[in-house]
Amino acid sequence: MPSSDSSAVPSFQHLAGPQRVFCGTGSLDGLSRELDRLGCKRAAVVCGASLARNGQALARVREAVGTRLAGVVAGAVEHSPVPAVLEVARELQGMQADAVIAVGGGSAIVTARAASIVLAEGPDVHRLCTQRGADGQWVSPRLARPKLPQWVIPTTPTTACVKAGSAVLEVSMGQRLALFDPKTRAQALFVDPELVATAPASLVLSASMNTLAMAVEGLESLQAHAFSDALLMQSLRLLARHLPVADTPAARCQLVLAAALCGQGTDFGGAGLASVLGHALGHSQGVANGLVNAAVLPHTMRFNAPATVRGVPQVAAALGAASDPALGAEEAIALVEALLDTLGLPRRLRDLGVSSSALPEIAGKAMGDWFLQRNPRPVQGVAELQAVLEAAW
């Protein structure tokens, strides 16, 4: 007989927007049709300086855009600092762009989105960003003005390719500011084998580690549900299968798909402590966020273990364990560490050049990260964050 226990019925909402993905050889052929679909005549390409110097890669994009190309803005900078975002916005305005095509990794994609926001809403990013209210809750202001439609051609496996949020760096304060507008979510994603082959192996690996951490945290989340589990578990499967052979274009395309699945899944489950520490350490210590994620993830999983009984069996199953609801955090952590061991990554913060004397300041900065509110185990104060950092050091 079916159970009549209503507490066994999950309660959630799954509100997913349309996602158009073009993958494989010839995928860029769809870009002109996509622009025509919205009547765009002046599309601007936003990228970083290194991709702009790659004549062959840029030629492929130019050919795909054709006569609709308004120009190339090579102003994306690592961590998307506010001055760079404002400059890109000015260039988009000068070109009279009616569409944006972001080409590159996470910084190019985030810069393109953020520049489109400030172009429409004004340059005061402090007014536009997510803020902590008097009640301690984070609130994103409604950014109602129309935004330039976005298309994304990623060269690294970054979850930014499918997101609607844009975290920019306020350089003077050393803080990340979150700009959120669903209207800046990509109209379509193009996964081109030749373009994903252009990224340095180190960037591919770092971005994949960020995806790995976010997929694990999404499965650990208390907001996770059947749909987000499906996206995130498949993301982990693709990562485990293709990371060891990430030097081939085919494997890199699979890693980009893993990042897209993870980005969609974490829209519902959210991210957590490993991502928070990656943010805090990344720009302040000059270390790639993904490498920080790889070093801290086992330790954040242990910290969260009392609250992640539901999620860790899914992590373990996706990484190859038999599907067993009795599996605990240590089994899942062991599988994560086994995957990391195959990649030869630094496993301690000290190996990334992080000084132990910097840990208290890093913990203090991390307490102000909006991702922390979605961590499954509430963080009670700076001392708890410092203890996790010390364990990872």
Q: What is the per-residue pLDDT across 49-88, written as a single tens digit (0 to 9) for each?
A: 999 999 999 999 999 999 999 999 999 998 899 999 999 9
Percent of the chain's residues with pLDDT above 70: 97
**What pLDDT band is residue 100 in, cutting at 50, 70 and 90?**
very high
Residues 219/304, Cβ–Cβ less than 8 Å: no
What are the start-end ranges of the H helices in 43-147? 49-52, 55-65, 82-95, 106-121, 125-128
Return the SS3 of 198: coil
CB under 8 Å to 339, separation ≥6 — which residues?
212, 239, 240, 243, 319
Tally DSSP H helices, then E strands, for the chain.
Answer: 16, 10
Residues 236/287, Cβ–Cβ less than 8 Å: no
The Cα-based distances of 218 to 12, 160, 372 in angstroms read 15, 15, 13
Residue 214's closest CA among 293, 282, 110?
293
pLDDT tens digits, one per residue of 279-301? 888 777 878 889 999 999 999 99
HSE value, Cβ hemisphere, 13 Å, CA-based, for 305: 14
pLDDT tens digits, one per residue of 324-346? 777 889 999 999 999 999 998 89
The Cα-based distances of 389 to 150, 301, 358, 359 in angstroms read 37, 13, 10, 7
DSSP-derived pairing of the beta strands 131-132 and 138-139: antiparallel
pLDDT at residue 4 in the model: 47
Task: Give, for 361, the enclosing helix (H) or strand (E).
Answer: helix 359-366
pLDDT at residue 341 in the model: 93
Q: Is the pLDDT of residue 106 over 90?
A: yes
Q: Is the pLDDT of residue 2 over 90?
A: no
pLDDT at residue 8 in the model: 67
CB under 8 Å to 220, separation ≥6 — which residues?
269, 272, 301, 304, 307, 308, 311, 312, 315, 376
**What pLDDT band is residue 102 in, cutting at 50, 70 and 90?**
very high
Return the SS3 of 46: strand
**What pLDDT band is residue 7 in, cutting at 50, 70 and 90?**
low
